[in-house]
Amino acid sequence: MAKDSGSPVSGQPLGVDELSERLRSRGLRVTGPRLIVYNALAHQGGHRSADEVAVSITAAGPSLPRTSVYNALKALVDAGLIDVVDAGPGTTLYEVRGESHHHFICRQCNALIDVPSDSTVDGSLLSEVPGATVESAQVILRGLCPECTQRSKARAKSG
């Protein structure tokens, strides 16, 4: 569903030691599948589905059972090491936790583009719901990506 490549907005992935510490600090054990899945996702970069992660793992050596990939992804999310990408309904996408950012989705080619978040705007969003405790704000922008915008303009001119 989502066409996607590397991410222009990201922090650097964690090493095994810090990774382990973070897992333990949340009461989670450090296991093979979790390290493998995290590294696969970090190595691929960008936004990836559980299936894409599984495939890349298999490509790199012995494969992990599908269920294990799902389990590991869930554990990593719980540990705050990776995030579920807010990019609308459909297949769940994950990304290594890095700097806060938003997402742009092209309605034509489905490209998913990271957009640096403006902390000022971000701040105003967080105070928008009276009575509620707003913990995070994700923005989904939709429209035509730069490439499709170009193509669209070209088509309008010539024919």
Residues forming contacts to its own copies in the complex (CB under 8 A) are 84-93, 102, 104, 106-107, 113, 115, 118, 120-121, 124-126, 128-146, 149, 152
CB 147 within 8 A of CB 113: no
Least CB distance to its own copies at residue 139 (A): 5
| Non-local CB neighbours of 11 within 8 Å, separated by 6+ positions | 96, 97, 98, 99
156 membership: H or E segment, kind and range: helix 146-158
Closer to its own copies by Cβ: residue 58 or 124: 124
140 binds, among its own copies, DNA, none (CB under 5 to 8 A by kind): its own copies
Least CB distance to its own copies at residue 73 (A): 12
Q: Which residues pair with 101 in a beta bridge?
A: 116
CB 65 within 8 A of CB 54: no
Say how many residues make up the chain.
159
Residues forming contacts to DNA in the complex (CB under 7 A) are 1, 20, 24, 27-34, 49-51, 64-68, 70-72, 74-75, 89, 91-92
Least CB distance to its own copies at residue 131 (A): 3
Least CB distance to DNA at residue 122 (A): 26
Q: Which of 99, 113, 103, 112 is nearest to 12 (CA)?
A: 99
121 binds, among its own copies, DNA, none (CB under 5 to 8 A by kind): its own copies
Place of tokens 């499709």: 148
Q: Tell me, what DSSP letter sits at residue 11?
A: -
Closer to DNA by Cβ: residue 79 or 111: 79
